[in-house]
Every structure is written in structure tokens, then in C-alpha cells.
Structure 1
Amino acid sequence: MTHVQHPPQIRVPATYIRGGTSKGVFFRLQDLPPACQVPGEARDRLLLRVIGSPDPYGKQIDGMGGATSSTSKTVILAKSSRAGHDVDYLFGQVSIDRAFVDWSGNCGNLSAAVGSFAVSGGLVDAERVPQNGICTVRIWQANIGKTIVAHVPITNGEVQETGDFELDGVTFPAAEVQLEFLDPADDGEGEGGGAMFPTGNLVDDLEVPGVGTFKATLINAGIPTIFVNAADIGYTGTELQDAINGDAAALARFETIRAWGAVKMGLIADVAEAATRQHTPKVAFVAPPQSYTASSGKAVQASNIDLLVRALSMGKLHHAMMGTAAVAIGTAAAIPGTLVNLAAGGGEREAVPESVVFGHPSGTLRVGAQAVQKDGQWSVTKAIMSRSARVLMEGWVRVPGDTF
């Protein structure tokens, strides 16, 4: 057998972290190969190879990805040069089956791990980190141009990761990290549009050729999201992943709804563009409270939730709920007349800060949002939720030297 020399592997410092109900590979910008420290093809090729994409088998066996939208994720962090911020956070959603990294939105779940990684990675000034207590990490979310504040517990000068906070969709308890998404609605600086309700309506008639016309709430808050009523598309809102992810026709319908919703929101000019924008917008369906059994076998009682929500991410029903979509849910629930608000009983909700508990396939989640109306326009000052994060592995990832 002839010996053929191939380029050796290179190694890149990286940390594998669970944040909320997602996990991803985290990098400090300074640790990336020079060609990958700037946006572009070299960076995308590196991240694709790290995660193990594109994979026609849909398994990501030859990479760090877990072959789901929740586990095909990458994060790049850098010390922030922006006033009043500690760290710049850039999120890349890696396609599983195509050579494509989507930079169009944030990952709310991994946001929970950004503060912790920034502290342990030396990206937060030492004088801002208490010996014991809570470190307030001010994060600039570079994909969408928004501020997130993470409240990271610190014990003996180190990030506290263990604890008794339980999050449905995550097997083991951990330390609670509270996140504040400041001014989460689109203001024209981020991707797509320039208004929380890009059509100017709380509810639209969304025409989807070949599928039907549906009532829809189209909102830019946390992440652009298309909400429809479960009953209008033949569902109850209690579905688990298998009910939808094994149904190719249903997934195709949801993708068609998503594409036409994206056009109506002004995110794309033509439905054909949706294929190159898998991460945003999201499509979700809502229903009034109903008891069901979560994927873990846990019983969720209708009396303990305000509404049911199921959401799709990267073409599949999500196993729990995307953090950014939870921001959209909390925001829409706080605004009387949206489909989310109506599913939760309608009217102005009493809690302060406004909060809603919704049922998702893995259980329940509480999210709060403060919405105010001025001159007929709704705005949201912040959305709040609790997540947790834990480092799973740290060291180096290896990729072939000719990857990029």
C-alpha cells in the first residue's frame, strides 16, 4: 500500500458547554486560527468541520454536533470594546446536512452559558467578579445587536455551576442563571424589519399557497417568530416530537408556512430564500391549557400552565423551547390581542413583572416580559427567564489542517 502524506490535524482551544436545553462548542475569538478570526468562508468551514457537517447521514458522527438543532451550535466570544458591556457574543447555528452556518439570530439557551464562560475565560475584568455572590455580566449579542444581562453565581472566585435549579428538558439540576433580554424587540438595528410587529398588526391573515390561510401573530422579539393557532393547523398543542418529526408531510407544511411568514415579515423577498435562512424566523403553534404527559413521563396539569406552545427549529419540532422563542412568547403574551395572549386567556395579564408559564414537550417554563403601550405602539423593556449552564469538557478540538 502506497503511503500518502496528508495534512496533520490542528488543534483549537475550545470548551463544550450545555446552556439551557442546548449545548455547543465555545471559542474565544483570540484562540481561533488567524484566518478564522474574521467573518467569512474560512470561519464557516472551520465551524462546519468542528461540528461534523455537512453530513448526508444526518448523524454528525465525525464531529462534536449531536445531529439536532439544539446540539449543532457554535459560539465565539471576545472581550467587548462596546461601552457598558463585558463581552461580545456571536452565535453560529450549523446546518446538519448542508455546508451552511446561519448567523441570522441568537441562541437564547446558550446565552445562559455566555456569562459563565466569559468569567472563567478571563473576558470579564477581574474587579467586576466578586469573591462570593452574583457577577453581572453585560453581554452584547452581536448577531442581533441587543444587550443581554446574565446573573452568574460565583463561589470562592469561581463560577458556581452545580446547584438545585431544575429546568425541564435538562436531566440534572444545576446552578440557576437569571437572564435579562433588554429591549428584545426589533428596533431596526438587528436582522429584518424595524418593528416588533413588522406588518403593523397584532394578528394577520397569513396566506400560504397550497396550504391555507391562517390567523398569525408575526413578532420580532428575541427572535422573529410566526405564531399560529394549533387548532387551525390540525393540532392540539400537546404534541411531542415523534408526532410531528416522523411526519414528512407535516414538516414540509411547516416549512412552507415559515417561508411565507418570512416573506410577510420582510425578512426575505422570495420564499426560495428561506432555504438559506434556516435559523430564523421560527414557527410555533399555541393552544389554551390542557393536561398532557411530557416526554420524560412527567404529568403537566392544565391548572399549572397559562397556555401550550410547540415550536419548530431548523425544520424539526424542538424537544423543549428555544430561549429566544421563549422571549417572543413572553412578549406576545404580555400584549393583549396577540394569538399568544388569547391562548393564555386574553386581556392584560395581572402579574408584575408580567409572566407566563407555558407547557412545551419537555415540561414547563416561566418567562416574564414588561410591555408598555405608548402612542398606540407596544414596546418591551425586557424579558426575564432563568436557565442553567454547565461545562461538559474543555481543551482543544481537532480538525484536519486543510479544513479552511
Structure 2
Amino acid sequence: MSKIISGPVRHRQSSIPLLPSLYRQTSTSTPLRRQNRLPASYYRGGTSRAIIFSASSLPSNPTLWPPIFLSILGSPDPHGRQLDGLGGGISSLSKICIIGPSPHPAADVDYTFAAIGIRDSEVDFSSNCGNMTSAVGPFAVDNGMVDVGDGESDVTVRIRNTNTGKFIHARFAVVGGEAAAGGGFEIDGVAGKGGKVQLSFIDPAGSKTGKLLPTGNVVDMFNGVRATCIDAGNPCVFVQAEDMDIEGTILPDEIDACLPLLSKLDSIRRKAAVAMGLCQDEASAPGSIPKIAMVSRPKTHTLLSGETIEQEKVDLVVRALSVGQPHRAVPITVAMAIAAAANLEGSTVQGKVSSERVDPDGITLGHPSGRLMVGAKFDEKGHLLQADVFRTARRLMDGLVYWK
């Protein structure tokens, strides 16, 4: 028996069927049966990895999708390792993407993202993944959804994310009819170099709530802590590390080991979800939104790799959590929301960001694996028109994926 919670994903006229925003499997049966199989691809996008399906490869009834996704990734797993599937035991490796042609005149493909629970059976369609967005254009080209010819050139694939109803333009090089995997571009958190993928998120404000400031306030108070709730790319809530009695340069494993901190952050996140209108009560808050992050002033500190990042090379230090886990980098949608919040007078982000930017065209964020610069374009009223980030992506595998 399964239980569907919350309302439908907001999109229309999509080649991808209407989906519930949140699915939780409440019980399973275990009859003897052979394995099932489906055509699929495995891609890295930015600092994440995901199984990608063509929409036409999945059952036409979308209510059948969540159990398939859970089985493929090996969830739920009380040990948190997903050994019986292709998940990697952390949120950035427990993801599914569905891509198909788009009937919308402003898009070439429709893209739906699902965040898959690791220890639980939650399948969350309520948000987008910015990192995996960098693999959507290459997948569309590699699978013939977009005709790019056989030569070498730069192409732009127009993407509509059905989770948020927002549009993204992905620009990257193609070689011999396929997305270029090799190249000279490097991103922090991923070893080696690859082909550059420029992602331009068009008018990202109000992705789920329709408003940049869903509560109507620049600052709200939750559990006595000042927080800025903002919706750009994904709904996010930002608190200052010092208000959590934490050093802003704390590393993910230290956060993971600090259960009181995780509990405080989750309580704030759930209260913010209610205040932002994302759910009726704290218990029904989606796992993937709002995302929460702690921010602090630039400071020289040591990264996960053991390298040192100098204070003058970042504008802000960020420690983000995604689906209850500390992120090893910073989710792209969180970075976009930070870019918007940094432009709001009095916000918790604006209060900690450097007054002199490393790059005048955007904001440079220090995260546990290095740095990320988000190019931000605002109009004269301070509205975020477009956010640009640069990623790499590549196809890791094509073939059949098995589920039981």
C-alpha cells in the first residue's frame, strides 16, 4: 500500500505525466519474482550523480514510478548505504531524472527531478536539482532528442523543469553528434577536467511559491533564530552560523556527528516550510525543500581535500544541508537563492557577505570542497533576472537498469 502526500507538481502540457509532489511507501510485499529491467543512463552532473530515464521508457502510469526508483537505488536502507542498488548513501548520489521532448514553444525538453530517500522510502518530486540540470542538455543530445548534426560546435538546449515550471538554458560543446565530455574546465569537488556546461536559470525567483519572499518578510524568527526565507531556484532558508553557536567553517562530517545541531536546523527548516506555505504543518514538510544553509563571513579555512582556501578568494562561507544531510559542496539552487538574498538589505545573507566582491559579476561562495561563483543579473528594482553557473557533466553508462 502506498500513500501520496501533498498536491501535484505544477506543470502543464508536458510529455512527462502529472506526478504527486511527495510519495512515501508505507509497506511492501516480498513475493518470489524475477527482476524487471528498463533502459536507462547514468550521468554525473556537477557534484551529483543520477539515473536518467527517457520519459518514454517508463510506465505510462506515473504512480508506478516511485517503487521502481526506490528499488533501483536500494532504498529504504536502515544502514544508510544503499548497497542493494545504485545509490551511494548520500543525498547527492540518490537521485533520478526523467527527460522527454517538450511541447512548450520555449523549451526543447521537459525535465523532472526526483530526490530519493536513503533510510526511508520517500520519493520527493517537489524540487529541482541544479547540479543534475547540467546533465540534462548532454543527455538530450546524446539520445537524439535534440538534433545537433555531426560537426563540432556550441549548442544551447532549452530546458523546462517541471518541478518548478522554470526554464534553464544549457550551453555546451558537441563533438560528432555527442556532448563533449573532455575539456579544460574544472569544478571544485570533482576530480579532473571536462567540457564546460553553462547553465542560465531564467527568472528563478518564485520557483514553488510564486514569490521571492514567500513569508513577506526579509527576516523571520524561528526558535529564536533570525532566518531569511527566499524562493529562487528552490525555496531556501538561511541562518547565520554564529546564531547556531557553530564555527562557519565546520566540515560536513562534523555537522553529521552533531545531532543537536542537526535537530535545531531541521526544526527551523520545518517551521520555515510552514511559514512559506509549502505544507500545512511541520510533520508534512517535504524532505528536499526548503533547503537550509548556514552562512558566515569569509575566513581562511581547510577544505575536505586538506587544501586551504584563502579568505580573500570568497565573498561568503556556506554550509548547506540537503535532505537532512550536510552537503559536500553547495547545491546550485541554494547558490542561486544566496545570490538573490545577498542583494536584499537586512537579510541574514547580506549581513555576512563581503562588501567587495571577488568577481563583480556575481558572488563567490566558499563551500567544503572549494568555491562556486554564481553570476547574477538584477534589474533596477533588484529583481533577479537570471543566474548563471558553470558545471561539467558526462555520461557514465548506458544500458539496462534492474529493479525487483
Equivalent runs, 1:108-123 vs 2, <5 Å: 108-123=130-145
TM-fit CA distance, 1:264: 1.6
TM-fit CA distance, 1:136: 0.2
TM-fit CA distance, 1:171: 1.6
Match of residue 173 from structure 2: 153
Match of residue 239 from structure 1: 250
Residues 295 and 316 in structure 2, CA contact (< 8 A), matched pair in contact too? yes
Aligned with 1:199: secondary structure? coil
Q: 1:301 aligned to 281, 303, 310, which one?
A: 310
Name the % identity. Answer: 41
Spell out, residue by residue over 1:14-48, the C-alpha distance to the aligned partner (whole angstroms, 9 max, x if none).
1111100000100001112x3xx3432x1101111
Q: 2:162 aligned to 133, 142, 149, which one?
A: 142
Spell out, residue by residue over 1:131-172, the C-alpha distance to the aligned partner (whole angstroms, 9 max, x if none).
212110000000000001000211233210112211111122
Equivalent runs, 1:247-396 vs 2, <5 Å: 247-274=258-285, 277-346=286-355, 354-374=361-381, 378-396=382-400
Match of residue 14 from structure 1: 40
Spell out, residue by residue over 1:299-341, the C-alpha distance to the aligned partner (whole angstroms, 9 max, x if none).
1000111110111111111011111111111222233432222
Match of residue 81 from structure 1: 103
Residues 335 and 371 in structure 1, CA contact (< 8 A), matched pair in contact too? no
Aligned with 2:265: secondary structure? helix
Q: In structure 2, what is the Cα distance between the partners aligned to 1:258 and 1:304?
A: 29
Output the amino acid matched with 2:222: E
Q: In structure 2, what is the Cα distance between the partners aligned to 1:75 and 1:300?
A: 33
Spell out, residue by residue over 1:328-357, the C-alpha distance to the aligned partner (whole angstroms, 9 max, x if none).
11222233432222211359x7966x4011
Q: In structure 1, what is the Cα distance between the partners aligned to 2:345 and 2:197?
A: 29
Q: In structure 1, what is the Cα distance between the partners aligned to 2:80 and 2:151?
A: 45
Q: 1:163 aligned to 180, 183, 205, which one?
A: 183
The CA RMSD measured in Å over matched residues stands at: 1.7
Equivalent runs, 1:60-71 vs 2, <5 Å: 60-71=82-93
Residues 129 and 135 in structure 1, CA contact (< 8 A), matched pair in contact too? no
Relative to the length of structure 2, the TM-score reads: 0.89
Question: 1:175/1:24 Cα in 2 relative to 1: closer, same or farther (>3 Å)?
Answer: same
Q: In structure 2, what is the Cα distance between the partners aligned to 1:115 and 1:147?
A: 12
The answer to whether 1:207 aligns with 2:222 is: yes
Structure 1 runs (4+) greater than 4 angstroms displaced:
349-352
Residues 142 and 177 in structure 2, CA contact (< 8 A), matched pair in contact too? no
Output the amino acid matched with 1:356: I
Q: How many residues align?
A: 374
Question: 1:329/1:129 Cα in 2 relative to 1: closer, same or farther (>3 Å)?
Answer: farther
Unaligned runs of 5+ in 2: 1-30
Match of residue 211 from structure 2: 195
Aligned with 2:403: secondary structure? strand
Residues 185 and 220 in structure 1, CA contact (< 8 A), matched pair in contact too? yes
Q: In structure 2, what is the Cα distance between the partners aligned to 1:334 and 1:370?
A: 11
Aligned with 1:342: secondary structure? coil
Q: In structure 1, what is the Cα distance between the partners aligned to 2:150 and 2:266?
A: 47
TM-fit CA distance, 1:104: 0.4
Aligned with 1:325: secondary structure? helix
Select between 103-112 and 51-60 the one with higher mean Cα deviation: 51-60
Aligned with 1:341: secondary structure? coil
TM-fit CA distance, 1:130: 7.0
Spell out, residue by residue over 1:253-302, the C-alpha distance to the aligned partner (whole angstroms, 9 max, x if none).
1111111111121212211112xx10000011111100001001111000
Q: 1:31 aligned to 57, 62, 66, which one?
A: 57
Spell out, residue by residue over 1:161-205, the C-alpha distance to the aligned partner (whole angstroms, 9 max, x if none).
11221111112211110100000001xxx53x321011222222x
Spell out, residue by residue over 1:95-149, the C-alpha distance to the aligned partner (whole angstroms, 9 max, x if none).
011121000000000000000001111111x2x5572121100000000000010
Spell out, residue by residue over 1:206-225, the C-alpha distance to the aligned partner (whole angstroms, 9 max, x if none).
222xxxx1121110001100
Q: In structure 1, what is the Cα distance between the partners aligned to 2:116 and 2:142?
A: 25
Q: In structure 1, what is the Cα distance between the partners aligned to 2:50 and 2:86?
A: 8
Select between 281-290 and 338-347 the one with higher mean Cα deviation: 338-347
Unaligned runs of 5+ in 1: none
Residues 93 and 103 in structure 1, CA contact (< 8 A), matched pair in contact too? yes
